[in-house]
Amino acid sequence: MTAVESDSGVLAGEERMLIDGELVHAAGGAFFDVEHPASEQVAGRVTDGTVADMERAVGAARRAFDNTDWSRDVEFRYHCLMQLHAALDRNKERLRRILITEVGCPVTVSGSQIESPIEEVKHWAEHGRAFDYLQDNGVHETQLGPARRKLSYEAIGVVGAITPWNVPFYLNIAETVPALMAGNTVVLKPAQLTPWSGSEYGRIVAEETDIPAGVFNVVTSNANEVGAALSADPRVDMITFTGSTATGRAILAAGAPTVKKTLLELGGKSAHIVLDDADFSSALPLAAMMACVMSGQSCILPSRILLPRSRYDEGLQILAASMAAFPVGDPWTPGNMQGPQISATQRQKVLGLIQSGIDSGARLLTGGGVPENLTTGYYTQATLLADVDPDSQVAQEEIFGPVLTVTPYDSDEDAIAIANNSIYGLSGEVSSADPERALRVAQRMRTGNVSINAKSHFGISSPFGGTKQSGLGYRNGEQGYMEYLDIKTIGMPA
């Protein structure tokens, strides 16, 4: 019996979506399947929302914003979000099973995708309660004499949240909870491959919190048009999106006619500059682990390793050995750290990019195909490509698989130039025995975030955003809350 079957009582339901406070089936009555990528079996199904359902959800969110006190009653929002925090915590094992079933995320590494976002709900509730929504901006001289200016921070309105499949529960929370706490109403459109993480969130809101009807809605759908309808709807004031750069461009274009505020966290192709004084024995096994641990399905993964030519072979040997030994297998089995790719299509894309690298002259040092003992499930071998041409497709396109490319460099300047040779600028890494030298290199990288010696740049209290074609705006930190607020400047008698 597979783990999915053993959990079928929990998972094989016909999940509904949340519109205007009701858990409902789609207008057309259709469903679509949810597949477990580790078994290639259908695990259950979910209601298949239509454009008409999305229009109803947006209407409900609009009414809840315009006609209720949600945007003005910070104490009530705090109460509701603390309830949500407790409710998610009560349901966390169910949420974990959903995550493993939909994504194939190994149970061993699921904490950062379940426990951490649940804690973030509490963080945003407390942050939003303590926030000063009416700030004194001091006295200013004007043509009509002095004016005392006040800054009123106010919710933007209806926020459409569109999320991807790689870390679905975390991103559902990260995109919606600060928006709600800031006083907005929300329509969440989860990704096709991971609808249950969204529908279960909707069920918990409906059944276990006092969040009023229409304030939070979830529309699951198998059609991209439903996300497109959300991003084009004139009743929506803001879109927050995480996903591919191509879809981000489409969302920006769809929002242009109504000048929608758009927060985008898009693709990445981050470089890891390993300086010649770095401790290879700690930096490189960690780099290999980062590449494998979510099956490479992470936008911030530093997937382009740049090694000094003087220590090139030494670095390649450590990377290849670490990748070949990485524990891959059934995500339900404790100890496995790498599960399958999420779908047959995704694995095909990863294998195709590996082949394109080999075709363009890269040397395959380990991996390159499907693990021999894991032919059921969309598993991919951890793969190391050396001598990668920085202009080649495999060095330029986001792979979203357990693949590292390695390119040698001759000087720090050379390494910085190769790192910056990308349309993306999401994250990066520098390894060095000298933190000041590493910092100087990090400051030259055209990217939104950098880790030095694996010290993570990512966390709830620090802003996270991309440069170049990796995004617009910030999540996390003070900026990540302010993104969901407009500032009204008021001139008053001094």
CB of 100 to ligand ADP, least distance (A): 19
Judged by CB, which is closer to ligand ADP: 163, or 366? 163
Catalytic residue among 35, 265, 398, 483: 265
Cα–Cα distance, 183 to 61 (Å, whole number) = 12
Cα–Cα distance, 377 to 40 (Å, whole number) = 5
CB of 220 to ligand ADP, least distance (A): 10
CB of 15 to ligand ADP, least distance (A): 16
Judged by CB, which is closer to ligand ADP: 243, or 401? 243
Judged by CB, which is closer to ligand ADP: 251, or 278? 251
CA atoms within 13 A on the CB side of 25: 8
Cα–Cα distance, 274 to 277 (Å, whole number) = 8
**Residues 6+ away with beta carbon under 8 Å from 461:** 476, 477
H-run or E-run covering 157: none
Q: How many helices (H) and strands (E) are present in the chain, helices listed first?
A: 17, 23
Judged by CB, which is closer to ligand ADP: 137, or 244? 244
* Proportion of the chain in helix, strand, coil states, percent, rounded to 5: 40, 25, 35
CB of 193 to ligand ADP, least distance (A): 7
Q: Which residues bind ligand ADP (CB under 6 A)?
A: 162-164, 189, 191-192, 224, 227-228, 231, 243-244, 247, 250-251
Per the annotation, the verdict on 429 as an active-site residue is no
Per the annotation, the verdict on 265 as an active-site residue is yes
How many angstroms from the chain centroid is the CA of residue 417? 27
DSSP letter at 440 equals H
Residue type, 150: K
At what angle are helices 92-103 and 168-181 packed, to 10 degrees?
Answer: 130
Judged by CB, which is closer to ligand ADP: 345, or 443? 345
Catalytic residue among 80, 105, 292, 299: 299
CB of 103 to ligand ADP, least distance (A): 12
Cα–Cα distance, 84 to 247 (Å, whole number) = 30
Judged by CB, which is closer to ligand ADP: 101, or 431? 101
Cα–Cα distance, 71 to 481 (Å, whole number) = 14
As a whole number of Å, the end-to-end CA separation of the chain is 74
CB of 197 to ligand ADP, least distance (A): 11
Which residues belong to the active site? 265, 299
